[in-house]
Amino acid sequence: MNKYLVTLAAIAMAALTFLGSGFSAVAAQEKAVKLPAPTLDTPAAQANTATAVFAGGCFWGVQAVFQHTKGVLNAVSGYAGGDKSTASYDMIGSGRTGHAESVQVTYDPKQISYGKLLQIYFSVAHDPTTLNRQGPDSGTQYRSAVFYQGAEQKKITESYIAQLDAAKVFPGKIVTQLTPFTAFYPAEAYHQDYATLNPTQPYIARFDLPKIANLKTVMPEVYRDKPVLVSQAGKAV
């Protein structure tokens, strides 16, 4: 897939930056956009858990961002938007299965709201203004999409996109798709917790570690230093 086609020069630079200058220096390579909080959000929490599904390029980085978010109980990389029969890494790479690389976020609505998750998603997890592309990765499988679950998530997401577009916080118009959720298929085991387990992998160092650093810088109130991993799902956060 395209994430493996980063040039040798970029790989060398990323590796040297990470190894020689550390985490904070890598963060300087990619900027986040500081966004206002949504004017419309979920009401006071009643349930113990809730889920949201976001797509925004390679799922490694999106998963890592939410794993470092307070109130998140689990963040699983996977596929949404297509059929079960084609929900595999090898097949979705064609861009013809309808799937997007996605992350299913299970969270405690008493600790963090759906609107706050959206703020993180649009601010540091990806660039919502690029159509079918994030960084070096291109194709519909890398599209920006929110797979909303129910009328409330749809309404809050639509409202926030309109709010951000009206405020002109991005240089271009938001192209994020709003798609009704049908199913989520977890990705293969080797994709789970990938950024945490492979911090010196050149792609992670260049494109994903900056997202985690930006979360800490831009939204310190929700940042958690120790990520909640897929293998730790269900444990206290």
CATH numbers and ranges of domains, the chain:
35-196 (3.30.1060.10)
Predicted local confidence at residue 113, as pLDDT: 96
Predicted local confidence at residue 32, as pLDDT: 86
Predicted local confidence at residue 17, as pLDDT: 38
pTM: 0.87
The strand pair at 144-148 and 177-180 is best described as parallel
How many whole angstroms from its chain centre is CA 196? 14
Q: Is 58 a catalytic residue?
A: yes
Relative orientation angle of helices 209-218 and 59-67, to the nearest 10 degrees = 40
The DSSP bridge partners found for residue 107 are 50, 72
Predicted local confidence at residue 1, as pLDDT: 44
CA dist 72 → 30, 201, 237 (Å): 24, 25, 8
Q: What are the average pLDDT values for consecutive 10-residue runs of the chain, which has 237 residues?
A: 41 37 40 93 86 98 98 98 98 97 97 97 98 97 98 98 98 97 98 98 98 98 98 60
| CB environment 2-41: b (16+ within 10 A), e (fewer) | bbeebeeeeeeebeebbeeeeeeebbeebebbebeebeeb
Residues in the chain: 237
Q: Report d(CA 49, CA 109) in Å as an integer.
A: 6
Per annotation, catalytic residue among 55, 58, 205, 218: 58
Predicted local confidence at residue 20, as pLDDT: 38
Alpha helices in the chain (DSSP H): 8-21, 23-27, 59-67, 89-92, 114-120, 151-167, 194-197, 202-203, 209-218
Predicted local confidence at residue 12, as pLDDT: 36
* 126 φ/ψ angles, rounded to the nearest 5 degrees: -170, 175
